[in-house]
Every structure is written in C-alpha cells, then in structure tokens.
Amino acid sequence: MESFGARLHRAVTERGPLCVGIDPHPGLLARWGLTDDVDGLDRFSRTVVEALGDRVAVVKPQSAFFERFGSRGIAVLESTIRQLRNAGTLVLLDVKRGDIGSTVAAYASAYLDPSSTLYVDAVTASPYLGVGSLAPMFDLAAAHGGGVFVLALTSNPEGAAVQRAAGADGRTVAQTVIDEISQLNQGADPLGSFGLVVGATVGGTGHDLSAVNGPLLAPGLGAQGATAADLRTVFGSSLPAVLPSYSREVLLAGPDPTALRAAAERALADCRTVLAAATD
C-alpha cells in the first residue's frame, strides 16, 4: 500500500498546503443557527464536507466534539469520515490518543485498521507515556499506509512546562520526541509518514526540526492568534514540510458553503505565499 507520506505529498502538491478542522463545538453550532444536538452535528459536518471535501488536502475532524453525543455522535463521525473519503481528501482524526501495550494497540486498531468503521488516513497521538509506548500505533500505520502525528510543541500555553523541560542528556522533552520521530522517517521518500504537531503560536523555540523528514502539522493559525507569517519564525528552514491547520478562522465563515470555500482559499493563499518563499 502507498505510504501516508507519499499520499500527503501528492495531495499537498495537487490541492495546496492546507488542513481544515471540523470542530463543531457548541458556540459554532449556535453561530450557524444549528441546535446543539446530533442533528446539528450532522448538518454542520455535512456542510463542511460539501464545501471543502473536494478542495483541501487534509480535513481534520476533532473526535471529542462527536464523542460528547455518545454512540449517535460516533455514528455521525463515521459518516463524516466516509463522506470525506468519497470526496477524495485525506482524513486526519484529531484524537490525541496515547497509552501502553494492548490499550494503544486497541486505539491503533480503531483508527488505523482498514476493517474499522473509524478508519482514517492518520491520527494525532500523545507521547507522554514515552514515544516507544506508541509503537503498536506506528507499526499498524506502517502496515496499512497510515500516518501518526505526535505532539511535540503544542500551541496551548500550559504545554511548555512539560515539553520544554530538560532531561538528563540536556535535551528538552520536545526535542527527544522530535528526534525519535525523525528516526522513524529515515530514508522515506518523498516524505515520511510520521509527523509532529508544532503550534504556529510557539515562536522561536530553538528546537531542531531539520532531520524530521516528515510532515509538521501547525495548528494555532487564525482564531488562536498566529498568522501565516509566524510560520517563518517557528519553522525556519523546515517550512517546506509544514502543513498549516485552520479551524475556527475558516468555520466562522459558515454555514454558507461559498463563504466557507472563500475563507479556505484566503487561508491557503496566505500560506502559499509564506511556504513558496521558503523554496525560492
């Protein structure tokens, strides 16, 4: 099976470097004039898929906003995943799972096994039980052409206390995560399948991303305060590997599909300007 890294590289080449989230939190449902229930959730998700599923490289549903409605919410998530796949976009499920042994293997089966109704192209994962604890997830992803984006330097202010703490060897926790993911991507061409989550709001951190050889998901753009220009400060020479991620900045333009498309196109244009300059 073709690797996730290869599919992502092609999708970005064809559709542009943009990931858009599906984050149907209560405030957005209300803003769209929708009810805060499963019906509102379904209508919200269908509208985003209709507007963007055949246009952007990656769509990132936030699992928590579906899970809060229980089994009926998960059914909407399953339907949304199917719709996105049919539209030809890559699906990155934002679940931030992390555990050990058989439990992380079960998470991997839920999201990265093609026989699962929640099967997606890639997931986000938390490495704070040790990057090695995610091995079953990495293994199943590699076996089925999936991807895993591991948290490294997140955009929330609380993350720095853990992620920038130094270990016995002098490296920060984040740099240790970066280095271990880099090893998984060695020799991959055109792009490794194991990525990192590095917030666009973190500024110049001094961390070395040069050896990652995998995608760098950059949330925090738009409503969280970062602009496309901030990507230069955060990523430096690693800009060509960045996958900018927007959620509220685009979703607030809804529910009109045309307005959603226009918002996504503006975000993409801003990112293209910055990322193209990195390759000149």
Residues with active-site annotation? 96
CA 124 to chain centre: 6
Asked if residue 190 has a cis previous peptide bond (ω within 30° of 0), the answer is yes
Asked if residue 255 has a cis previous peptide bond (ω within 30° of 0), the answer is yes
The Cα 134–Cα 183 span in angstroms is 14
Strand partners, 62: 94
Query: Checking DSSP bridges between strand 147-153 and strand 58-61, what pairing results, if any?
Result: unpaired
**Contact indicator for 41, 225 with CB cutoff of 8 Å:** no
The Cα 222–Cα 100 span in angstroms is 35
The Cα 4–Cα 8 span in angstroms is 6
Tokens of 189: 């061409």
Neighbours of 27 (CB within 10 A): 12
Q: Which amino acid is at 238?
A: S
Tokens of 179: 């280095």
